[in-house]
Structure formats: C-alpha cells, structure tokens
Structure 1
Amino acid sequence: MLKKDKQTSEFKEIVLNNIPLIDVRAPIEYEKGAFFNSINIPILNNEERHIIGICYKEKGNEEATKLGYKLVSGKIKENRLNSWINFIKANPNSILYCFRGGSRSRIAQEWIVETLKEDIFRLRGGYKAFRNYLIENLSVENQNYTPIILTGYTGSGKTKILKKINNSIDLEGIANHRGSSFGSHVSPQPTQINFENNLAYDLIKKQNKNFQHLIFEDEGRNIGKNFIPQDFYNFFHSGKKILVSSTIEERIENTLIEYVVDAQKEYIKVYGVEDGLTEWFNYIYSSMERLKKKLGGDRFKKVLDELNFAYKTQLSTQKIDYHKYWIELFLKEYYDPMYSYTLQKDKDNNKIIFEGNSTDIIEYLKSLK
C-alpha cells in the first residue's frame, strides 16, 4: 500500500551510498548550501517563494498555503512534477528534502506518489537536520582515527601522493583550490557550507572503512576563500608529520605542470587558446601583485621580468621551459624562507616521524592501516 508521507533520517546510509537527493527549495536557498549528489528542482521559484513569504507574515500559514497552491497549478505544476518524476525514473532511490522537512517536500511527495503510484521518501527534518548531522561529524569527538600530516616544500608533490593513498582526505580537492597564492581554478570554489558538507561526507566514508590513520596535507586554515573549522583544524594539525623530500628540479617541474601546463589547459578549455592564455597570464600577474610587499621591490621586479619573458616566449615559440626561471625564483625567494622556519620547528619538536621521496612515503603509508 502506498504511503504519502514516508520519511527517513538514515543520514549515514545516504552518505555511504551516494543516494541522489532532490532539493525542492528555491534556487536562492540551494545556491547558499546544499548536499553532495543533490539536484535543485524547486517547487517554488525565488519570486514565488518571496511572494508567499510576504503572505505568510501578513496573513498566516493557511493563506500562504492557499496562495502556494494557486501559484503552482496548471501547466506550472505539471512541468515541475514531470521534472521530479523524470529524475526519479532515472534515479529510483531518490529522496526529497526542503528546509525543515515541512510543507514543500510533503506536498511534492504527495503529488509524486499520486502520479507515479510509487513510494518516495523525504528527509525527516529536511536540509537543517541533515546539515546538523554533517556538522556533528566534523566535531573532534567524532574523529575515530589518528591524523598524519604530509609536509614538505612547495612543489614537492604532496597532493600527488595523497591521490595515491586510499586513506587520505584531500582538503584542496574538496575546496577546489590548489592551496597557494596562485591556487584558484577557473571553476569557482564551493560555498563555505558546501565545503563543510563535502568534507563531512568524505570523513564519514573514510571512517566507515575503519582506517586507523587518515592522511592530510599540511594546510593553513584557509584554502582560498574556504576555511577549515577551527576545532577540526586543531585536531588534524595535532598529528605527527611525514616530510616529503624532493630536489629543487623536481619541485620546479611539479610546479610547472600544475600551475602552468594544467592551469593553462583549464583556461583554454573555457576561453579558447588566445584568450585562455591571456586570462591565465592576467591571473598569475595579479596574484604576484598581491605579494609585492612580501617579496620586496627588487625581488618582485626580478620575478615579474622573468614571468613576462617566459610568457612572451611561449606565445612566439610555444615553448614553456622558460617559465621554470620565474618558478625557481619564486620558490626560493618567497615560499622556501617561510617554510624553513616551520620545518626546523617541527624537527625540534620531534613531530616528523618519517622522511623520504614520493615512492618511499607511499610505501610507508600503505604499510599503515
């Protein structure tokens, strides 16, 4: 027998099984924060939600509900209902949610069941309850593993190591940012809410595998515009460290691939070849401008001259090797002095438990559970 009000609060199962979610909130709500594997198919658009909100304040819930049924009727209702049903047919285990699991998801559920003649669940407590569950899973008391931190000079290949380890948490990947002064991708970073939600998703999945250790990169609290919640940041930074050793040549090559070759590909994909290279150069240039005071006038001019020369040479010859000169200057003059102090401090405090090249470290980490 069909039930029009089936609800679930099996939040962990939703995370572990990547269950598709239909967010029926208005787009303006969805853009502020939503969940992994969710799609926004609203029951009310932004304008309708605004109008009904005014009615609710002035005349109460009953009149606001009547207005809602009036606004979403006829062809409008049919189109929205068809959108839900088409998604559900493609994703049979989908679950609905609105903000608090109230009238919007309940009404959508009723309409779907009446039309599809099949049961569909909605989230008990809606977005708010699921969001609270995810935030709880970022709390220190819910971290059931020992954190280990990969550290090393800029360009040593820490992120590449993380991607080869099953028990790692790629904070930069979750933040869609490379974690440096030149770290932005062409695609935007997630909202802070989505960053936290996606981090919680990853932690829940990894902890469900009962790893004794989870591996993190040695990040600052801010990754681009996203920031790691303070208590969680303090927790994973309490872990011991593994030092990735690499030559300056390896570091230059890694940086060249990540910040020049791969980054230019991103820009070219979006803007085309000519405009893409121009956009990439403007981004790198503006990023350097922000660091002018820290570099100092003479060093800044030297790095900038090398960047300009490398860029012009690339445009005329399609060769990228000249970018290595400004990269080397930047690593030695800007990043290395900042890191040397921290590294010495870690050594003095016996925080480093292993040191080696990428191959050595991957073997060592795989030996841990």
Structure 2
Amino acid sequence: MSPRPLNPDIFLQQAAQYPVFDVRCPSEYARGHIPGAHNLPLFSDEERHEIGILYKQQGRTCAFMRGLEIVGPLLAEYIVRVRSHTDSRHILIHCWRGGMRSESLSWLLDKAGFRVGLLKGGYKAYRKYVMTGFETPLSLLVLGGMTGSGKTEILHNLQRRRQQILDLEGLAHHKGSAFGAVDNIAQPTTEQFENDLFDAMRVLDPGQTIWIEDESRKIGHVSVPEGLFRQMREALVMRIQVSRQARVTRLCSDYGAVSPEKLGNAVRAISKRLGGERTRIALEAIAAGDYATATHALLDYYDKTYQFGLSKRHPDSIIDLDHASDSPCAIAGALVEKAAKISRNP
C-alpha cells in the first residue's frame, strides 16, 4: 500500500494513536516540532547544508544523487530505528514541505511493511495550521490578581474541579516575571511554545469556559501568539483579592530556596524600573536574609505595574472577587460559582 497524504487536521487526529517521525535534520527539529514526534533525520545538519548548496549550484539531479550516496548505506538502519520506537505498523511521517525527504523514507518504510501516513505540505503546512488555530474564538475567562496571589495554584485547583484551563506559564517553563527563570529550567523556543500551546488547546471545548492566567505578551523569552493574546485582552477578567501579607508569605515560600546571588541578579535586571531606592532596599534585605522586606519593596513596583496594565482594560470587563480565605482551593471554588452566575446572567 502506497503512503497516504494527510491534511494537517487528519494527521494530528491520527497522531493521537500512531507515532510521528520527523525526518528533518536535528537543528530543524530542535527549533520546533510536533509535540511527541520522534526525530528520524534523513540527513545531519551539515549534510542538509551540503545538499542545499548542490541543489542551487548544480541542480536537482546532482543533489539527489548526493543524497542517495549518504542515505543508501543506512536504509536498513532507518527501519531498525523506527522499530525501536514503536511496535505499531501504522506510522506517520513528515519533513519540511512534504518533499523528497519524507517521500523517500515513507517509500522505504512502506516496502518494509509499514502503513505510512504523510503530512501533506509537511511541517510548513502544520505551522500554518497552528497559527490559524490561535484565531479560533475561545470562551476565555482571565484569572487576574496581583503578584503573589497564587494564580497558578488557583488555576490548577480550577482544573481539579473539572474546569478547562490553559497554563501559559507551565508551557513556557517560566513564572512570568524577572524572577521567573531563577530555577534555571530551560524555556522552549517561541515556535515550540506555540506548538505545545496549540496541542493543549486542541483538547479543549472552545464553546465552554477556558480559564487562563492574566499575562503580558512576553513570558520570559517566548511570546503569546497574537490571535490568543488579543482574545485575552478582550475577555472578562476575574480579579482576585488576596491580602498583601499572604502574598509576601507565599512569595517568600516560593523563592526562599533560591540562592541570594540569583535573587540579587534578578533584582539588578529590573533596577532601572525599580528605581535606585527600591533596588538598594531589596538587595540589602536579600543579603541579610530578610526576604520579607525585599518582597515588600518589590511588590511596591509590581503592584503599580499590574494596576497600570489593568487600567488599559475597560472597567466593565473587570469583575472583583473578594473572598474571606487566601486558600487557592477555596478561591477556585468561589470562582466557579461566580462564573456560573455570570453565564446565567450575561
């Protein structure tokens, strides 16, 4: 049976059941790939560069013959590598544009007894499908609140209550402030962040409420896609009110294990925005191990910044939730009740 070309939507539906093999070179895969795909490069980065030059300078036939010289001795190895990843006889393959790399390897694997699905248009078509997907209208409710309010914990508590969520900071591997990278977890590329985000969105019902944390466009070095960010700015904000002391306590707990050197570097990174006096107070307090004083100084800045960002929204789009408890679990329950009342009385 010859390989079957599949449009991106069908390809991704089948990817939920069958393994995906990305035959692009390692650097292409590292920049961004379909979540869960295995890299099965037909060429190394250097070999792909060489073949590209041959194609431009001497034409398709010359480039094709050089490709055969490289790949020919490795044909059996490709089959072994695929079998090492899966017992399935149904597999999915793609390259950059659905051209010679994926067609050649799919032909080989078809002859080896695999039932092969080819991504029509390749990864390039997939990326276009992803970016278009961020324009899909979503029933967003934005979870707002000042720094240290426990929004991420509340978001996860909402999920435990069977609410739909999009955890942007979790997908970005960053906590969304100057201190968001102090735990040294590597962030994905923006391209991979977009792919992972789209993958998370695909399993949600766009017609039902989706909770998402209030974020700026940039989360560390990755960016929220324009289509989604625009919807976030237009959605209702459920602003939670948590006491200043509770926020300080939470932040001291969250960052208490981080070295003073890393915390000091994070403060220095925003010193121009903090101002000289707040920077001095924060750095001296961190050096003395007085994280509460440092946190108060930083919150003076972050609270003003948050209020300024919120002031750009229409007042009618902001709904306050005053709750007696600072518990993320209790706040999540109150948010679900509040959202239900809003849906009944739009």
C-alpha deviation, 1:99, in angstroms: 0.5
Residues 18-38 of structure 1: CA distance to partner in whole angstroms, max 9, x if unpaired? Answer: 753211001121122211111
The equivalences for 1:250-261 within 5 A come to 250-261=246-257
Corresponding residue of 2:264: 285
1:256 deviates by 2.4
The one-letter code of the counterpart of 2:153 is: K
Partner amino acid, structure 1, of 2:264: Y
Work out the CA distance in 2 between the residues paired with 1:39 and 1:32.
14
Query: Which digits, 9 at most, give the CA deviation of each residue in 1:93-117, with x for residues without a partner?
Result: 53111011111111111222223x2
| Corresponding residue of 2:278 | 299
Residue deviations 1:32-84, cap 9 Å, x none? 2211111212011111111111211122112211111111222x333333212
Match of 1:338 in 2: 305
Distance 1:343-1:100 versus aligned 2 partners, 3 A rule: closer
TM-score (norm 2): 0.87
CA RMSD of aligned residues (A): 2.4
Tell me the residue number matched to 1:271.
none
Q: Which residue in the other structure is 1:267 paired with?
A: none
Give the total of aligned pairs. 329
The answer on 1:138 being equivalent to 2:105 is no
**Alignment map for 1:31-46 (pairs within 5 Å):** 31-46=30-45
Alignment check: 8 A CA contact 2:141 2:236 kept? yes
User: 1:242 aligned to 2:234?
Assistant: no
Note the C-alpha offset of 1:341: 4.2
1:136, distance to aligned residue in structure 2 (A) = 0.8
What's the CA shift for 1:168?
A: 1.3
The one-letter amino acid paired with 2:2 is K
In 2, the alpha carbon distance for the partners of 1:66 and 1:180 equals 52
1:231, distance to aligned residue in structure 2 (A): 3.7
- The answer as to 2:74 corresponding to 1:95 is no
Q: Distance in 2 between matches of 1:62 and 1:183?
A: 51
Provide TM-score, normalisation by structure 1.
0.82
Q: CA deviation at 1:171?
A: 1.2
Change (3 A) 1:119 1:361: closer
Per-residue displacement from partner, 1:314-338 (whole Å, max 9, x unpaired)?
A: xxxxxxxx4333223322x221222
CA deviations over 1:163-194 (Å, ceiling 9, x no partner): 22231111111211100111114222111111
Whether the 8 Å contact between 1:43 and 1:104 is mirrored in structure 2 is: yes
* Alignment partner, residue 362 of structure 1: 333
Gaps of 5+ in 2: none
Task: Output the CA distance in 2 between the equivalents of 1:13 and 1:6.
Answer: 10
Cα distance in 2 between the residues matched to 1:238 and 1:167: 19
**SS in structure 2 of the partner of residue 7 of structure 1:** strand
2:179 to 172, 182, 185: 182
Report the equivalent of 2:111: 114
Change (3 A) 1:128 1:342: closer
Mapped to 2, the partners of 1:18 and 1:163 lie a distance apart of 27
Task: Choose 352-361 or 295-304, whichever is displaced more.
Answer: 352-361
- Conserved in 1, the CA contact under 8 Å of 2:174 and 2:180? yes
Q: Deviations over 1:275-309 (max 9, x none)?
A: xxxxx443322221122222222221111011111
SS in 1 for 2:239: strand
Query: Judging changes above 3 Å, is the alpha-carbon distance between structure 1 residues 174 and 118 closer, same or farther for their aligned structure 2 residues?
Result: same
1:12–1:148 distance in 2 versus 1, CA, 3 Å: farther
**How far apart in 1 are the matches of 2:143 and 2:22?**
37
* Distance across 2 between alignment mates of 1:149 and 1:131: 26
Higher mean C-alpha deviation, range 9-18 or range 174-183: 9-18
Q: In structure 2, what is the Cα distance between the partners aligned to 1:334 and 1:219?
A: 17
Superposition deviation, residue 212 in structure 1: 2.2
Structure 1 ranges of 4+ moved more than 6 A: none
Q: Distance in 1 between matches of 2:90 and 2:173?
A: 29
